[in-house]
Amino acid sequence: MLKDIVIALPDEKELNLEHRIELTHQIVDAMEWVQNGLGVQIDIHKPQIGDKNWHVHILVTTRRFKENGEELGDKAVDLEAKFNNSKRSAAYY
């Protein structure tokens, strides 16, 4: 059970890979998913040949991790607004 959030990233004229990673971490930190017990995976994709579409997939669990960090617990329904507003929030970066 994951949410897949796709965000376009600036091309190499504006940011290098290190800065894209930093920007993505800033977005994830601002959304406070990890701080609220959710798991997050970040996958940055470079453009295909002839394309300039740098983008990131941010995969977020919809359930919180239990204290042992190995099992998922209850669904984080209180964070649903963060998922629904994530595209708009990411636009501010």
Q: Average pLDDT of 33-45?
A: 95
pTM, full prediction: 0.80
- Please report how many Cα atoms fall inside a 13 Å half-sphere around the Cα of residue 82, on the Cβ side: 19
Structure tokens at 87: 């595209």
Angstrom distance (rounded) from CA 10 to CA 7? 10
Domain ranges of the chain: 2-90
Q: How many CA atoms lie within 13 A of 68 on its CB side?
A: 4
pLDDT in tens, 64-93: 999 998 999 999 988 887 667 655 544 443
Write out the CATH class of domain 2-90: alpha beta
